[in-house]
Amino acid sequence: MALTTYVEAIRQGIWEEMDADPRVFILGEDVGIYGGAFKVTEGMLEKFGEMRVIDTPISEAAIVGAAIGAALMGMRPIAEMQFIDFISCAFDQITNFAAKNRYRWGAGVPIVIRGPSGGGVHGGPFHSQNPEMYFVHTPGLKVVAPATAHDAKGLIKAAIRDEDPVIYLEHKYLYRRIKEELPKGDYVVPIGRAAVRREGRDLTIVTYGAMLYQALEAAEVLTRDGGIEAEVIDLRTLLPLDKDAILTSGKKTGKVLVVHEDTRTGGIAGEIAAIVNEEIFEYLDGPVLRVTAPDTPVPYSPPLEEFFLPNKDKILVAARKLAAY
Amino acid sequence: MARPAARLRERPRGRGRKPGKAQPPLPDAIVRMMPGPLRPPKNPGLKRAELLEMHRLLILNRRLEEKLSALYRQGQIVGGLYSSLGQESISVGSAFALRPDDLLAPMIRNIGALLVRGVSPRDLFLQFLARYDGPTHGKDGTLHFGNVEKKALIGPISHLGALIPVMAGAALAARMRGEDRVALTYIGDGGTSTGYFHEGLNQAAVLKLPLILIVENNGYAYSTPTSRQFAVDSLAERGPAYGCAGESVDGTDILAVYAATRRAVERGRRGEGPTLLECRAMRMRGHAEHDDMRYVPKRLLDAWRERDPIGRFEAFLVEEGHARRAELQAVSAALEPALDRAAAEALASPLPPPEEALKGVYCEPGYEAPWWPSP
Amino acid sequence: MKGAPKSIAASRPLAAVPAPGRACTATSADLLRMFQEMKLTRALEDRIERKLYRQGKIVGGVYVGRGQEAISVGAAMHIRRTGDDDRDDIVSPSHRDMAVFLMQGIPMERILAQYMGRRTGLTRGRDGNMHMGDLRQRVVAFISHLGDSIPVAAGCALTFKMRGTDQVSFCFFGEGAASRGDWHEGVNFAAVLRLPVVFICNNNGYAYSTPVAQQMAVPHVSDRARGYGIAGSSHDGNDVLEVYDAVGRAVARAREGGGPTLLEFVTFRMTGHSAHDDAGYVPKRLFEEWARKDPIQRLGARLEERGLIDGATIRDMEARIEAEVTQAVAWAESQPYPEPAECLLGVTKE
């Protein structure tokens, strides 16, 4: 069977939705003739024409704003940010126009804003960021971050079909490193549902995005070296958070470790720790621990970036500490 | 060209076309990126030594970028590399018109402006190679660095246009202190579409700040041609739209760039407010090293290749009797050993220690900030 | 319907080929309607700002368009309404365009309920004052972040262009909003893609306390049009006929595929920024000067000259309007506040 990369899975998902639904279109910088900076939209201009694959000026606020306007007129726009770092230029349109529209006057804004996030490719401070929490903190938005090719396709389809604005965070480190066999035919991965990637009884590792693979590798080492069985949960959606999945696993293992590539303070690990504390305190055998990036910008030079990013070894240290409780 | 031709009007204006060649007419969107009428360079009053220094900087710019490109291909440069090939005249010519204390903020294709300001090739290699001794301790790459105190240089971020309000603010501060410094920064044709461009230029115009905004119109923003970026022929039109001076020059003519920048500087020092100066050229390489720019028609590149800024300037220097051809040709070879030495030193220089990643987010007593420029 | 165009972008500068747009002459019936709409708008806003607000019945801010009603009214006359979504235009009013809401058929009493934070306000008490919309009435709600509507309005127009209809997107804003980056991005986006938008700027002299001269270094917002390669012009915003004509031409241009137009209407904000603001920073003589150019009086005088109206009819009209407003206020005051727990509902689709 042919294997599909993460980036190709996103492309397929968009392609199929555009094929099936004439309301779906994509706009952004260099999405047309160039096929996108990471080739997510390759071939779409030729297939769907320039009325539905729209190269725009370098105007992120206008890209998102126009997507909002088109959505109000009944369309299903996908707005590409060339790098997710540039989403800050459209912050106002996203957090104040799109996110609050339904609540204010009942007019939903079914748009998808997607783009490559994350580090590990020496992108430096402006091409490596994980901006999820700006948006997780904004009621009215949904935020998804697939880790597998299967989810990348299923979630982009779910995002396009969703009635509300969805921030879809692609991890650029995974684009061509992850390959999987995908199910035949149409499928979606529901927004708001986490997945258990590995079962275990001793401790729970909650993570998402590229960190899933570091967590899974760490879990293998824990089993091999000390017989510690870690359960690994892939959040997939950050807003709304799948509390049930976290709490069910936490009750079972009594120990929760949260791993994310985003920086520490205000990262989703803090939110998860609070939920676990509030809801299953009596089941816990140890503190909720975090493995995250430190509170700095993403540095450029390889030794610095490596130091910055969480990895298997850092997860192992925290997991062993937690397991010892 | 993969772009469907249906939407493009088949009405060539004849600019930059050679007579007698039977080629199909170019689409309008391409025609507007062709070189304008060729005008002979005019010396705006520069002395011979200055002209030769300008030439040396142009050659240095080109050779340095060639070396960087080679290092990139060897995998030594792990991040992006953005070339200024064919538009070096814009960076060098404009920065040459400034005083050393004028505020300068280059973008990623303005390595030439840094060279004019006296940034050493060694420091540039260190930065591109992400070394500890580089101007950011390896925390950022490309031309993302500055030094306000020693070099009056302000570093860019990747978010295009963001420098424009910042430089308006720098100019404002200079005026508040009674200094007659001007502030100069650059933006590409694509960056003019950002909200920052608008807010920054408008602010500078309202406050009559001595801001010089050089628009490097090099035809393409990544793969996007200017026809998809703005609906005006010349961005100089935007000057009057903001109530400030607007000019457009052939960016491959270094003397024209210099002279226009001088006029803008003088206006700024006289308190007459900002200038929007469009310099037209062509991006002769991809957006960055990885990009083969197959979306750019060959004829466009061919037409601009004939406008190579170094070739044009050398022809001028020879014709006007400022230098002999052989002297000019010797410049490159003379620069070579120093460049090689700088690159070798940078390569031998250590990468940052990992813990450096945690330092300098805030003001920290005792923390050794990047010590650039090198002693 | 003009059929889907092959091209999404303008390959040539638009200013080089401005479609002329048709001249636009208002009929007597149009004139009378505009007079009545302006009167109604003024009466309703006077009631809100000068009475209800002072009585403490309005729970939030109040922003009125006193003195600049001609712009909303003259422009809104051209918004096509047929009940067919593929024919009807769309409008993004600013916070000083009460007339646009009324003329699009949003009931006065629901606007008042909105101001009073009642459950039957257009936002069910979730937002106040003019921050309201209703897609069935083809009105997109404004947000406080000035200029944000501009790319949104361009996006509405983009949809019309993609669908190949001759619908037009109307976009209202003030001169202060024109300093925002979103404004620039939206106007440029519409220019490059040649979208059917009519940008309608009310230049009313002040953005809160900031006079025009501190907002921009050109005399007119429309001076910017040349920088975008689109058509633009500046007009007397207190002459409803001039507004009617200029907007009519721009709408015709947009329907014919001639792209966006940037119109500026010069007027004056005959009030503070909002009801709490005494506008002490505005020289008194400016108010006196502009009071003499009042758009309602000017149209009234014209109508009297032409014999279309007389003092008695005007008095009758005023009395009828006052009664309508009073009735609407009574209805709004009788409306319940939302249930507290409604706060949690409707953040996303449920």
For residue A241, pLDDT over 50 is answered with yes
Please tell me the distance in Å from B242's CA to the nearest CA on chain C.
6
**Mean pLDDT confidence for B59-63:** 98
Residue B23 binned pLDDT confidence (cut-offs 50, 70, 90): confident
A13 in Cβ contact with A153 (< 8 Å): yes
Dihedral (CA of C266, C269, C273, C278) sign: positive
Kindly list the strands in the beta sheet with A256-263, ordered across the sheet, starting from the edge strand earlier in the chain. Answer: A195-198, A230-234, A203-207, A256-263, A289-293
**Mean pLDDT confidence for B2-25:** 46
A91 in Cβ contact with A131 (< 8 Å): no
Please tell me the distance in Å from A57's CA to the nearest CA on chain C.
7
**Mean pLDDT confidence for B62-90:** 96
Residue B375 binned pLDDT confidence (cut-offs 50, 70, 90): low
Task: Please list every residue in chain C whose beta carbon sits closer than 8 Å to the beta carbon of residue A108.
Answer: 349
Q: How far apart are CA C158 and CA A239, in angstroms?
A: 30
Q: Does A97 touch chain C (CB under 8 A)?
A: yes
Q: Which helix (H) or strand (E) holds A260?
A: strand A256-263
**Mean pLDDT confidence for A195-207:** 98
Please tell me the distance in Å from B151's CA to the nearest CA on chain C.
30
Q: Which residues pair with A55 in a beta bridge?
A: A28
B·C CB contacts under 8 A: 113
CB contact under 8 A, B140 and A124: yes
CB contact under 8 A, A124 and B141: yes
For residue B16, pLDDT over 60 is answered with no
For residue A175, pLDDT over 60 is answered with yes
CB contact under 8 A, C152 and A73: no
CB contact under 8 A, C155 and A142: no
Q: Does A306 touch chain B (CB under 8 A)?
A: yes
Best A50, A82, A300 residue to mutate vs chain B (most B CBs within 10 Å): A300
Question: Which of B64, B158, B164, B181 has its CA nearest to residue B119?
Answer: B64
For residue B7, pLDDT over 50 is answered with no
Please tell me the distance in Å from C279's CA to the nearest CA on chain B.
22
The shortest CB-CB distance from B159 to any of A57, A86, A123 is to: A86
Instruction: Report pLDDT for C215.
Output: 95
The shortest CB-CB distance from A51 to any of C4, C152, C154 is to: C4
Q: Does B355 touch chain A (CB under 8 A)?
A: yes
**Mean pLDDT confidence for B129-155:** 93
Task: Please list every residue in chain B whose beta carbon sits closer than 8 Å to the beta carbon of residue C223.
Answer: 240-241, 243
Strand A195-198 and strand A230-234: pairing? antiparallel
Instruction: Report pLDDT for B374.
Output: 62
Please tell me the distance in Å from C145's CA to the nearest CA on chain A.
8
- With CA atoms as reference, the chain C residue closest to B30 would be C11
Q: Does C151 touch chain B (CB under 8 A)?
A: no
Q: Does A140 touch chain C (CB under 8 A)?
A: yes
- With CA atoms as reference, the chain A residue closest to C125 would be A104
Q: Does C130 touch chain A (CB under 8 A)?
A: no
Instruction: Report pLDDT for C182.
Output: 97
Task: Please list every residue in chain C whose beta carbon sits closer than 8 Å to the beta carbon of residue B238.
Answer: 227
Instruction: Report pLDDT for B12.
Output: 38
Only one residue has tokens 């805030």, namely B362
Please tell me the distance in Å from C228's CA to the nearest CA on chain B.
6
**Mean pLDDT confidence for B301-309:** 96
CB contact under 8 A, B193 and A57: yes
C311-324, pLDDT tens digit by residue?
999 999 999 999 99
Summary mean pLDDT of chain C: 93
Which of the residues of A are catalytic? 127
The shortest CB-CB distance from B222 to any of A30, A302, A306 is to: A30
Q: Which helix (H) or strand (E) holds B183?
A: strand B183-188
Q: Does A294 touch chain B (CB under 8 A)?
A: yes
Q: Does B56 touch chain A (CB under 8 A)?
A: no
For residue C58, pLDDT over 80 is answered with yes
Best B202, B203, B226 residue to mutate vs chain C (most C CBs within 10 Å): B202
CB contact under 8 A, C223 and B241: yes
Q: How far apart are CA B21 and CA A119, in angstroms?
A: 51
Q: How far apart are CA B133 and CA B348, in angstroms?
A: 11
Instruction: Report pLDDT for C22.
Output: 52
- Percentage of chain C beyond pLDDT 70 is 93
Instruction: Report pLDDT for C8.
Output: 66
Catalytic residue among B63, B137, B283, B312: B283
Burial of B19 (0-12, 13-18, 19+ CB in 10 A): exposed
Q: Does A58 touch chain B (CB under 8 A)?
A: yes
CB contact under 8 A, B229 and A58: yes
Please name the chains neighbouring C, where neighbouring means 3+ C-beta pairs under 8 angstroms.
A, B
Residue C4 binned pLDDT confidence (cut-offs 50, 70, 90): very low
For residue B5, pLDDT over 50 is answered with no
A·B CB contacts under 8 A: 137
Burial of A208 (0-12, 13-18, 19+ CB in 10 A): buried
B203-220, pLDDT tens digit by residue?
999 999 999 999 999 999
Strand B220-221 and strand A230-234: pairing? unpaired
Instruction: Report pLDDT for A21.
Output: 97
For residue C7, pLDDT over 70 is answered with no
For residue B310, pLDDT over 60 is answered with yes
The shortest CB-CB distance from B139 to any of A88, A89, A301 is to: A301
- Give the list of residues 6+ apart from residue A279 with CB closer than 8 angstroms, or none: A243, A247
Instruction: Report pLDDT for C9.
Output: 62
Please name the chains neighbouring A, where neighbouring means 3+ C-beta pairs under 8 angstroms.
B, C
Instruction: Report pLDDT for B368.
Output: 73
CB contact under 8 A, C152 and A107: no
Residue B363 binned pLDDT confidence (cut-offs 50, 70, 90): confident
Residue A39 binned pLDDT confidence (cut-offs 50, 70, 90): very high
A·C CB contacts under 8 A: 147
Q: Does A190 touch chain C (CB under 8 A)?
A: no
**Mean pLDDT confidence for B159-179:** 95
Summary mean pLDDT of chain A: 97
- With CA atoms as reference, the chain A residue closest to C142 would be A97
A69-113, pLDDT tens digit by residue?
999 999 999 999 999 999 999 999 999 999 999 999 999 999 999
Burial per residue of C114-149, b for 16 or more beta-carbon CB atoms within 10 angstroms, e otherwise: bbbbbebbbbbbbbbbbbbbbbebbbbbbbeebbbb
Q: Name the more confident of C8 and C257.
A: C257
Q: Which residues pair with A237 in a beta bridge?
A: A144
CA-to-CA dists, residue C139 to C43, C70, C171, C172, angstroms = 22, 19, 10, 11
Task: Please list every residue in chain B whose beta carbon sits closer than 8 Å to the beta carbon of residue C12.
Answer: 9, 11, 28
A119 in Cβ contact with A84 (< 8 Å): no
C24-35, pLDDT tens digit by residue?
689 999 999 999
The shortest CB-CB distance from A65 to any of C8, C182, C347 is to: C182
In this prediction the ipTM stands at 0.90
Residue B20 binned pLDDT confidence (cut-offs 50, 70, 90): low
The shortest CB-CB distance from C13 to any of B194, B202, B233 is to: B233
Q: Residue C339, Cβ neighbours under 10 Å: how many?
A: 10
Task: Please list every residue in chain B whose beta carbon sits closer than 8 Å to the beta carbon of residue A37.
Answer: 222
CB contact under 8 A, A56 and B79: no
For residue C10, pLDDT over 90 is answered with no
Q: How far apart are CA B197 and CA B107, in angstroms?
A: 14
Model's pTM, two decimal places? Answer: 0.92
Task: Please list every residue in chain A whose beta carbon sits closer than 8 Å to the beta carbon of residue B131.
Answer: 301
Q: Does A42 touch chain B (CB under 8 A)?
A: no
Q: How far apart are CA B257 and CA B311, in angstroms?
A: 16
Residue C17 binned pLDDT confidence (cut-offs 50, 70, 90): very low
CA angle (A116 as vertex; A127, A59 as ends), nearest 5? 75
Peptide bond into B156 cis (omega under 30): no
- Percentage of chain B beyond pLDDT 90 is 85
**Mean pLDDT confidence for A220-240:** 97
CB contact under 8 A, A301 and B130: yes
- With CA atoms as reference, the chain B residue closest to A59 would be B194
Q: Residue B364, Cβ neighbours under 10 Å: how many?
A: 11
Q: Does C183 touch chain B (CB under 8 A)?
A: yes
CB contact under 8 A, C184 and B241: no
Residue B6 binned pLDDT confidence (cut-offs 50, 70, 90): very low
Q: Does B228 touch chain C (CB under 8 A)?
A: yes
The shortest CB-CB distance from C192 to any of B195, B230, B243 is to: B230
